């Protein structure tokens, strides 16, 4: 029986109930002062707690889709190559290209010499236009510090974690710098400046990268304030084709939405297990203030069907099984894309909405992204 099977959940809940009832039934017999009774009480309490925690863990996992299978939970799943597919061309043929291995290959602490391993800097981005701010990290590749690149401008990718995740997870859990350095050393990625942030500059609210009427202007923050601050602080290209947005979960939704709304700012986007409509939960404020038009425009499927499609390239990466309706929603999105918009997609067979899945998808996604970034007048 699979990890997310209703039979497994029902059996675990039943075991928890039986163990609790058994503990209550046996407790009078275990009230003696002998060492056997003390061990019995300890054993009964441990068994009850483990059974209840297992049941609660399965309930939470089934609801949030953290892990999709026992292999996913134990880290023993398939680590074969990730295949990125492009939407079929006019001839109807599906173009398939294998780029990258699924397992994260970079890792560990970066070296002390930035000319060899690059450098991670902790930053705070204050929005000159919106007066919003967020803290995060910038990874500068080794070439940024090498003399032969002293006058070179670099492409940029803004990377957002999910909500309510912290930017540090992009460094410690997903290890974007390590993955990028590994790809760079293998010649599979060009040197790129990475800006790693959270998806909301108005915590504790989840703004879904929206400009809220009378409230936080998160869309403007990410499309105007952040690029302006990065360009003023680092040696990066101002050309739109040198910029991209990437993220997981909420960050993936933001990446797609900002690219579709602002192709002149982010003409390339990568979404790892991102969804296609603004979330609706207690952490999300009233984003649209009663405006049905604003609500429609935040629905990416509605945009595909009702607005001119932008000249952007997007990658959708996730799993076929184990992440709720991701496969169905993604297939609907891919089917609705038409030129000049371009879409590629990559799906593991199984995997939950978690770091394990995103780590497997990361190398191939970064390589795909790097192939589309370009600084005018400079070789890739």
CA triplet 278, 279, 284: central angle to 5 degrees? 105
Residue 216 lies in a domain: yes
Alpha helices, DSSP H, located in 27-136: 35-64, 70-74, 114-117
Residue that is written with structure tokens 């404020």 in the block? 285
Closest CA to 261 of 210, 196, 226: 210
Residue 1 resides in a domain: no
Domain CATH code at residue 323? 3.40.50.1820
Q: Which of 14-28, 33-47, 249-263 has the highest mean pLDDT?
A: 249-263
Shared-domain flag, residues 28 and 123: no
Statement to judge: residues 46 and 115 lie in one domain: no
Bridge partners of residue 81, in order along the sequence: 101
Q: Higher model confidence: residue 68 or residue 117?
A: 117
* 22 plus 117 within the same structural domain: no
36 and 159 belong to one structural domain = no
How does residue 42 score in pLDDT terms, banded at 50, 70 and 90? confident
* Residue 59 in domain: yes
Domain boundary among 44, 64, 84: 64
Is residue 170 located within the same domain as residue 297?
A: yes
pLDDT bracket for residue 378 (50, 70, 90): confident
| Total structural domains within the chain | 2
- Give the pLDDT confidence of 141-167 residue by residue, as tens digits: 999 999 999 999 999 999 999 988 889
Domain boundary among 45, 64, 83: 64
Residue 281 lies in a domain: yes
Q: Are residues 33 and 180 in the same domain?
A: no
Instruction: Find where tokens 């460094």 sit.
Output: 171
Query: Is 50 found in the same domain as 99?
Result: no
**Structural element, H or E, at residue 219:** helix 218-220
Q: Smallest Cα–Cα separation from 176: which of 190, 163, 195, 162?
A: 195
Residue closest to 251 by CA, chosen among 358, 96, 347: 358
* pLDDT tens for each residue of 334-365: 999 999 999 999 999 999 899 999 999 999 99
- Look at residue 71 and give its three-state secondary structure: helix
- By the 10 Å C-beta count (0-12 exposed, 13-18 middle, 19+ buried), 305 is classed as exposed
212 three-state secondary structure: coil
DSSP-assigned letters across all residues of 248-297 = ETHHHHHHHHHHHH-TTT-SEEEEES--SS---STTS--SSTT-HHHHHH
26 and 100 in a common domain: no
Q: What is the pTM of this model?
A: 0.75
Asked whether residue 153 falls in the same domain as residue 10, the answer is no
The neighbouring-strand residues paired with 140 are 119
H/E element, 138: strand 133-140
Whether 162 and 301 share a structural domain:
yes
Is residue 255 in some structural domain? yes
- Compute how many other C-beta atoms are within 10 angstroms of the C-beta atom of residue 143: 17
Domain-located, residue 379: no
Give the DSSP H or E segment for 316. strand 313-321
In a domain, 380, yes or no: no
**Of 23, 47, 64, which residue constitutes the final position of a domain?**
64
Rounded to 5 degrees, φ, ψ at 271 are: -120, 115
Q: Does residue 377 form part of some domain?
A: no
139 strand-pairing partners: 120, 194
**Contact 130/225 with Cβ under 8 angstroms?**
yes
Domain membership of residue 84 as a residue range: 73-370
For residues 11 and 156, membership in a common domain is answered with: no
Nearest to 353 by CA among 258, 233, 272: 272
Same domain, 37 and 99: no
What kind and span of H or E run contains 347?
A: strand 342-350
């Amino acid at each position: 029986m699979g990890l997310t099977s209703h039979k497994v959940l029902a059996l675990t809940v039943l075991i928890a109930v039986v163990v609790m009832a058994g503990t209550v039934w046996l407790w009078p017999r275990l009230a003696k002062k002998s060492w056997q009774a003390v061990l019995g009480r300890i054993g009964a309490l441990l068994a009850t707690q483990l059974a209840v925690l297992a049941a609660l863990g399965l309930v939470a996992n089934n609801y949030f889709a953290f892990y999709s299978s026992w292999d996913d939970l134990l880290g023993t799943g398939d680590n074969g190559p990730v295949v990125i597919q492009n939407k079929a061309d006019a001839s109807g043929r599906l173009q398939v290209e294998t780029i990258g291995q699924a397992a994260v290959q970079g890792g560990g602490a970066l070296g002390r010499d930035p000319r060899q391993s690059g450098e991670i800097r902790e930053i705070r981005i204050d929005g000159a236009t919106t007066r919003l701010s967020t803290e995060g990290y910038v990874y500068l590749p080794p070439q940024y510090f090498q003399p032969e690149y002293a006058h070179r401008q670099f492409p940029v990718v803004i990377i957002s974690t999910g909500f309510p995740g912290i930017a540090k997870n992009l460094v410690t859990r997903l290890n974007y710098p390590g993955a990028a350095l590994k790809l760079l050393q293998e010649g599979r990625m060009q040197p790129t400046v990475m800006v790693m942030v959270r998806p909301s500059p108005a915590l504790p609210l989840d703004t879904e990268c929206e400009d809220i009427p009378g409230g936080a202007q998160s869309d403007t923050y990410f499309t105007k304030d952040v690029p302006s601050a990065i360009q003023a602080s680092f040696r990066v290209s101002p050309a739109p084709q040198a910029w991209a947005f990437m993220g997981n979960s909420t960050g993936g939704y933001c990446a797609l939405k900002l690219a579709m709304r602002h192709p002149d700012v982010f003409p390339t986007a990568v979404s790892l297990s991102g969804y296609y409509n603004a979330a609706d939960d207690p952490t999300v404020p009233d984003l649209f203030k009663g405006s049905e038009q604003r609500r429609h425009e935040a629905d990416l499927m509605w945009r595909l069907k009702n607005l001119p499609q932008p000249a952007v390239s997007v990658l959708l990466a996730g799993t076929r099984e184990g992440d709720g309706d991701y496969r169905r929603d993604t297939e609907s999105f891919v089917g609705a894309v038409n030129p000049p918009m371009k879409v590629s997609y990559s799906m593991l067979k199984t995997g939950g909405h978690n770091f394990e899945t995103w780590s497997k998808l990361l190398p191939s996604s970064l390589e795909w992204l790097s192939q589309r970034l370009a600084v005018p007048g400079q070789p890739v």
